[in-house]
Structure 1
């Protein structure tokens, strides 16, 4: 894939841009195998390749420039807006939204936030597309000042982009390098974006996490459920469950499945998906994964973990070591923290692993490992 923004050094976020894709995928496989080289019993499955372009279902775009001439993209070293509204890794559905959103910013006179001057209101646009082409739009503002104006002009935007089903304002008053704030104001009657994955409807709320590559998310959940169904455990915990992707895919009348996630919004979404699918013996609870495990009276036969980049940490590793858990399915977006966690689990043997290229054109990837108690 070639990118004019990368070639002109306007955006260098995709550090592997221009490199042959087969070479990228082979490099990620080698990187992961090297980090986990101490696990001699590991069987490596073929890596799961992604589309090279148009694969991102989510765009986190900085708004710069002026209300009359806004930029949608990133900021340069001086804090000036760099327009990236033709970014090739974004899905076609996202690309179709950018020019309409730029016109909306101008028509509604939404003043972009000026980082060097610490003035203005509109900081970011966070846009997510479902596999069915529906859109969730979140506008990150410095304050509530522009909310009435956004409400006034919203019907015009929805008429121009009927695929937009969920719109919210996120309030982020602080001047710091954080994408969003804690408070969300919903502007539409619909509050969740339906994410159709492997014949299951997952529900994404404005502040919930979902994988940025829908095809690879589907492959990730298929691989996890394949391993779980092969082992046929009677009980499963999905820790860091998000909106319930792994838990819902592993649901079966023969087993108890429990999903744990700190985000209450995500748990509401997971319960909605479970109810719609008519699943039995599936439970979702809001809470800290480690605290839940440590306080539990009984351990499950299998645990799925899908932690953030920092990994699961010493305390949860220690609990797994001392527990009766027979198998762990570990899905990681950071092979370095994965390697560190596996070193803290000497009672388990890594049996299988698979790299899934969630983030083409970058150094990042997802890797899944199946662990078995020795």
Structure 2
């Protein structure tokens, strides 16, 4: 039977799509719900390629089994894939879609979770050999904290050796060993690296990252986690050359209490290392502002509070890094949204 004429008039390529079930209607009856899921799968199944896909919230388990395969098909995304929240029954439902796109240029990984993870150990073991296809991946941001993301997705990225197209890596470190392995796979091509220090032992060897230009460190957990300053110093000490370093701090980072002797020595070591680092142009302290505050930044009391905080950060940075201050390297900028969204401020990153 010939296909209906209308099928041939709809392009097979789509520029972009956003999938968001977070506001789904709860009072639909079963028939309406089934029709909606089948409609979504039919629409997505029509296209051979989609340039950009953003999944804000999707529970794939809710889709009838026969149509799930048409929703998230491997290789369909050709440029950008961002996943904020994705729920599936098992890894094989989504891993081929996420890691099976050879033309993908940007991948953003948020929270991916699987139901009944404890009951699927056998399946997971059988699935570990599934190859990934991300040979063209240039930019990777891992901002999720879920078990599924860090047990089923991030470790699989290390299986591709090397990630020789990866120029930008942004990662909120949940597993330092896995992150170290990821850096190792991409060290020869990395231009920009952002690391969110969350626990002690966040020390990374960047000696072989010879092309690295931008390094961003999220230090909002300092001084609560005191070892992070030591981790920062050791990580920076492994770098042979750098153009810009970004240190993200929160309100508690700029503490008014007197540093202990160990911290004073660490700040001196960091100042000395940065001031002697070949090619260093800027030491930028960043402050992340909530999106709602950012919109009201120009008005009244909010502006005054944020400007006062900015002044405190500048004073703090100049006191801790006097050699960098004398060279005119220090600046403070405010960014809106989240650290993983703008770890390098408004710096134009290498393509």
Q: TM-score, normalised by structure 1?
A: 0.33
Higher normalized contact order (CA 8 Å, seq sep 6+, divided by chain length): 1
- Higher Cα Rg: structure 1 or 2? 2
Greater helix content: 2
